[in-house]
A and B are shown apart, each in its own frame.
Chain A
Amino acid sequence: MYGTGLMKGMAVVLKTMLFKPPFTVQYPEQRVEPPRRFRGASFVWYEDRCTGCSTCAKACPQGNIEIVTSAGQYNQYFVEKFDIDHLRCMFCGLCVEACPYDALFMGGDFENASYSRAALVVGKKLLNAAAPTRIPSSYFHPELDHIDITSGRPVPEIRKAEQEKNQDIGWASR
């Protein structure tokens, strides 16, 4: 009979309309937490671990990371400048993957609009100030997958706590 197909479709629509809760959320009021591995804008950089080797800058497809180092007295480098240009960054995460010293992490922030272009070139000072409070993403660092993100503790501390916890449990029970 002509029209049965239509009625079938209408039944699906009605069923979805009446019996299914809405799938969307009202964004600015309601928020969905991004997963732990989210590759977000707020990079987390630990100066004490960074050796200024510039591997991240070489790995960056866009050439966004600018590093200037000076040689120290005892055969080491001081990182003078560490600028990440968020304007051209596409958040591919290759810099984090390349870092041999676990000094650079992606962050969990996704609201990165700014009123000025200059503010989007994030330098050493800002990164240093933010490092203790920001929670690093576990992108390319799966060992951070299960860290309590609400505690907001920085990685070295969390890692230490994790290690202690692991020692408590012991390898046999894992």
Chain B
Amino acid sequence: MTLRTDPVTINFGPHHPSTHGVFQMRITADGEVITNLEPVMGYLHRGCEKLSEGRTYTQLVPLTDRLDYLSPMSNNVACVLAAEKLGEIPVPERAQYIRVIMAELQRLANHGAMTGFLLNDLGTFFTLFHYTMREREKILDLFEMTCGTRVTVSYMRPGGVLQDLPEEFMPRLRALLDELPQRLDEYEALITENEIVLARTKGVGVMPREMALAAGCSGPMLRGSGVKWDIRKNDPYGIYDRFQFDIPVGTNGDVYDRYWVRIQEMRQSVRILEQAYRDIPQGDVRTRLPLFFRLPTGEAYARIEAPKGELGFYLVSDGGIAPYRLHVRSPSFINLGVLRDLTVGYTVADAVITLGSVDIVLGEVDR
């Protein structure tokens, strides 16, 4: 006997723990198989781009903390890079190293949180999540001792960083660096060979290389599909051309590969941190600028390899103390463009982990 079934529309979110914030997926499902998926966003839209038109370049920095609130340090770096690029503001050597240290610590914290969330989506409630949060906490402690807050850091300034590292920072960083490889091994022991994880993630949410390119995906989404593209290597900003590290690349472009790329990136981040720890010079950390400095007329696009992908700030100045137009190219927003193609044909449970592997933060999607 065959059952006649009608397609069902499911409103998945915006208040659902698996959507990582206020994100909604309008799923049309035939039985358990998804036939259509429409991402609905904008619940957290605060108009950052409009707000920035009335603020000075220094005042932009606290705004960027609120974009991707899992990696505020990276956002800060991208924002000040745009201003520095347009104004040709020099950055002292030590400040460059501090930026690298902060950005890489942030990458570790972000990928750790993402891996924990992904496992939550898979049903491993809070086991790995607590482990990764434990290490994230230590990283946030370092941020707090440097600039006073854990998440809304506002640490970078055009022309350097806010203030020098405290004395106890370096010993704490050393201890963390000694600990991290061991912790990463633990995470991998929990996931990488786990049969249940493999069964759920291998071959799910497969993104071919061509789709990733044409859709403008970036970061681990792009590298998981086998494109060797990392802005730190291919378009180095700051002093990234001095560091030795590899770009991990996936093969199949499925959820597992995106997870695997992130874990490998964490190992590479530890490598970069080791080199930065070794080489960091003494000296000045900030080029002094007036409180309300002006940038020349023109446009600049500065991009960095944020944990989630290519984070770009497109800055247009008319010579005033505030930007004429600021556009944020946020990686999670553009990565979401492929969500429909990654989920159609899979089950609803697979859509959840596919969304988890895209690694969105709604503060950045909606801006």
Contacts and interface: CB of A to CB of B under 8 A. Distances in A.
Q: Do A's and B's CB atoms come within 8 Å in the complex?
A: yes
Interface of A: 2-6, 8-9, 11-13, 16, 23, 34-39, 55, 58-59, 61, 90-94, 97-98, 106, 137, 139-140, 142, 145
Interface string B287-304: 000011000000000000
Nearest to A37: B148
A110 B224 CA distance: 41
Interface stretch (B57-65, B86-94, B230-238, B332-340): B57-65
B149 A98 contact: no
Q: Is the interface of B mostly helix, strand, loop or mixed?
A: helix
A23 B134 contact: yes
A93 B155 CA distance: 10
Interface of B: 55, 58-59, 61-63, 127, 131, 134, 137, 141, 144-149, 152, 154, 162-164, 166-167, 186, 189-198, 291-292
B145 A35 contact: yes
Contacts of A5: 192-195, 197-198
Q: Which 7 A-B pairs have the closest CB atoms?
A: A5-B193, A39-B148, A92-B62, A61-B59, A35-B145, A9-B190, A5-B194
Nearest to B154: A92
Contacts of A55: 291
Contacts of A16: 131, 186
Given A90-B62, A91-B152, A140-B163, A58 B190 contact: no
A34 B144 contact: yes
Contact of A93 (B154, B192, B194): B154
25 contacts: A3-B195, A5-B195, A5-B198, A6-B194, A6-B195, A6-B196, A8-B193, A8-B194, A12-B186, A12-B189, A13-B127, A16-B186, A23-B137, A34-B144, A35-B166, A37-B144, A38-B144, A59-B58, A59-B59, A92-B62, A94-B59, A98-B291, A139-B163, A140-B162, A145-B167
A90 B152 contact: yes
A153 B58 CA distance: 32
Contacts of A106: 148
B149 A39 contact: yes
A9 B186 CA distance: 8
B291 A35 contact: no
A38 B292 CA distance: 25
Contact of A9 (B61, B62, B152, B189): B189
Contacts of A4: 193
Nearest to A35: B145
B145 A37 contact: yes
B285 to A, nearest CB: 10
A8 B146 CA distance: 37
Contacts of A94: 58-59, 62, 154
A94 B167 CA distance: 23
Contacts of A36: 145, 166
Contacts of B291: 55, 58-59, 98
Contacts of B186: 12, 16
A2 B152 contact: no
A1 to B, nearest CB: 10
B148 A137 contact: yes
Contacts of B192: 5
Contact of B189 (A3, A8, A91, A142): A8
Nearest to A17: B127
Nearest to B61: A92
A110 B290 CA distance: 31
Given A2-B195, A142-B164, A142-B166, A93 B148 contact: yes
A58 B291 CA distance: 9
Q: Which of A4, A59, A61 has the most CB of B within 10 A?
A: A61
B134 to A, nearest CB: 5
A37 B149 CA distance: 8
A75 to B, nearest CB: 24
A155 to B, nearest CB: 17
Contact of A61 (B55, B191, B197): B55
A123 B176 CA distance: 42
Nearest to B190: A9
